[in-house]
Each structure stands twice: as C-alpha cells, then as structure tokens.
A = this chain, B = another copy of it.
C-alpha cells in the first residue's frame, strides 16, 4: 500500500476520533466542527514520513503529527478571524458560524490540545520536540503579522515577501519533518537537512500557489481564478510585476487596482504580467527552491529507497494543478 495514503488514512481516522468534552458546548463544538472540514493532512503526514525516512514506522510520530495538525487548525481558526474570511473549505468559518469570541477562545483551547498531544512523547525526545514546535509556532505568528502588515504597506520587497511566506507557511513543513526525524533519532545534521528539505518545498509550494491563482485551468481549479489579483494581494507575481514594470506600466497596474469590472481587471493584469514575464520569474524561483530541497535531501545519510516517499510527494506537490 502507498505509504502516504496509508498515513493520511491513519491520521484522518485518529483526528476524527478526537473527542472533546460536551460542555461548554460553545468552546468544544466548534473544534469538532472544524476538524471534520477535512483537508489533505499534509503537515501531519510529513511528521510521519519524517520518522519513516529514518527507518522508524511513521506511527511512532503519530502524536507529534496530530499536534502539528491541531496547531495548523488553530492558526486557521484565528487567521480566519483576522482575515474576516466567511468560508473555509467551502464551509462557514468558526467566527461566522458562532462569533468572534468563540473563534478566539476555541482556537486557544485547540492550541492547548496540540501541546497535550505533543507531551505524550517520551522524555528522551520531548524537550527537542517542544523546542522545534514552540519555535515554529512563534515563527508562524510572525509570518501572519508580517502578512497583515503588508496589507497597508506599498514598499514590500520580494525578499520580505519570501521571508513572510517562509515564516507563515514553510517552516511548519520543515518542523513537521524534523519532529518525525527527531522521534526516529536522526542525527543532528540529518534533522537539519530534512528541515531544510521541508522548508524549501514549502516555499516552492507557496509560489506555486501564487502562480495557480492566476494561471490555473479554471475547469480544474475549483476556486475563482484571479482571486489574488481582484483583492490586490501582494504575491510573488504582483511584487515581481511592480518591480520590473516600466513607469507607464506601473501606473496602469496602480489604476487597475481600483477597476470595478473584475473580469476585465483580471484579464488586463494577466496581459501585463505576461508581457513582463512574471510567470516565468515565479516558475524560476519555485524551481530554485525545489532544487534546494533536493540538494538537502541528497545530503541525508539513509538508503535511497527510504527517500522515495518524500521525493514522490514533493514532485507531486510541485506539479499540482489545484
């Protein structure tokens, strides 16, 4: 059986089995609700694959994996409040279905439960797991704050953008893998390499996300193509466009930010992006991160066969169309 699918199955099953107290209903019902919204469980799968890579059964990292997934869901609940998002995976967000206070507090509670899962690990690895987990959690907060700060700034550099996505989304992929590696008693060097692998895959993944927003096949994408353009969101594409645009084009892009015919806006912005060649720039940056990831993986001192699952997953993530 395919290891990745097997791990995803185990995780989904375990996550659905998590049982919260009945009362107070307004604290715990939102958590049961949110955890049934699904998702690909990519991050916890990485924790299990991280252990597997170093010759241990992935199941040994199950509690750390669940901690990572609960943490991720906690950040989604709070981010949805901060972004005032009505929907998550096509369903109402917690603060929409209940209210903002419920979103804040049930998110807090979920964060505690994440630490409770992590604390189930043996003391021979617990301190290092806590160290990775807490450091990463702080970094994710930093990334989210940078993202919010960017909304009102017009001088965001591409380097700052990369740093923001690194903190907000990529470090958690690296951390999940490193936690699995730690549980499998990988060497310090190998633990660092697998972290670097995950973080670079995360960066490539996020740039792919930016590309897909505008260049996905609408029939396959499932979301509105051009959503970031419509929202004038700072993405790798947008920042590259502004950086390389002539003064005239720069002005046109600025004007288009207030265009109310949204189909027209997306179409014109795409034309300008194509002219500047920002898609190629983004593809190149994505490839750079992907190659960094592969280089990190090469340095890891385990049989080549052990690497197949993660290399396959990385390749799949890179070529995704949705």
Write the residues of chain A forming the contact surface with B, with a CB cutoff of 8 angstroms: 21, 23-24, 26-27, 78, 81-82, 100-102, 104-109, 111-113, 115-116, 119, 123, 126-127, 130-131, 134, 137-138, 141-142, 144-146, 148-149
Closest B residue to A130 by CB, please name it.
B119
Contact present for A112 and B137 (CB under 8 Å): yes
When the two chains form the complex, which single residue of B101, B106, B127 contacts A119, counting CB atoms closer than 8 Å? Answer: B127
Closest B residue to A113 by CB, please name it.
B138
Chain B residues with CB below 8 A from A109, complex form: 138, 141-142
Contact present for B108 and A24 (CB under 8 Å): no
When the two chains form the complex, which single residue of B24, B115, B127, B137 contacts A145, counting CB atoms closer than 8 Å? Answer: B24
Contact present for B105 and A134 (CB under 8 Å): no
Contact present for B111 and A82 (CB under 8 Å): no
- Measured in the bound complex, the distance between the Cα atoms of B25 and A145 in whole Å is 9
Contact present for B134 and A127 (CB under 8 Å): no
Taking the closest CB of chain B, its distance from the CB of A124, in whole angstroms, is: 8
Taking the closest CB of chain B, its distance from the CB of A227, in whole angstroms, is: 21
Contact present for B123 and A27 (CB under 8 Å): no
When the two chains form the complex, which single residue of B100, B116, B141 contacts A108, counting CB atoms closer than 8 Å? Answer: B141
Contact present for A141 and B127 (CB under 8 Å): no
Contact present for B134 and A112 (CB under 8 Å): yes
List 23 A-B residue pairs with CB atoms under 8 Å apart, sorted by A's residue number. A23-B142, A26-B145, A27-B141, A27-B142, A27-B145, A78-B105, A82-B104, A100-B100, A101-B148, A102-B145, A104-B104, A105-B144, A105-B145, A106-B141, A107-B108, A108-B111, A109-B142, A112-B134, A113-B134, A116-B130, A119-B130, A119-B131, A123-B123
Contact present for B24 and A146 (CB under 8 Å): yes
Contact present for B138 and A24 (CB under 8 Å): no
- Measured in the bound complex, the distance between the Cα atoms of B105 and A26 in whole Å is 21
- Measured in the bound complex, the distance between the Cα atoms of B119 and A21 in whole Å is 27
- Measured in the bound complex, the distance between the Cα atoms of B110 and A111 in whole Å is 12
Known contacts A24-B142, A101-B82; A134/B119 CB under 8 A: yes
Chain B residues with CB below 8 A from A123, complex form: 123, 126-127
Chain B residues with CB below 8 A from A138, complex form: 109, 112-113
Chain B residues with CB below 8 A from A21, complex form: 142
- Measured in the bound complex, the distance between the Cα atoms of B129 and A116 in whole Å is 11
When the two chains form the complex, which single residue of B26, B111, B142 contacts A148, counting CB atoms closer than 8 Å? Answer: B26
Taking the closest CB of chain B, its distance from the CB of A305, in whole angstroms, is: 34
Closest B residue to A115 by CB, please name it.
B134
Taking the closest CB of chain B, its distance from the CB of A32, in whole angstroms, is: 15
- Measured in the bound complex, the distance between the Cα atoms of B111 and A21 in whole Å is 22
Chain B residues with CB below 8 A from A23, complex form: 142
Chain B residues with CB below 8 A from A116, complex form: 130, 134
- Measured in the bound complex, the distance between the Cα atoms of B173 and A18 in whole Å is 29
Closest B residue to A75 by CB, please name it.
B108
Taking the closest CB of chain B, its distance from the CB of A153, in whole angstroms, is: 11
Q: Of A24, A26, A106, A107, which is in contact with the most chain B CB atoms at under 10 Å from its CB? A: A24
Contact present for B24 and A105 (CB under 8 Å): no
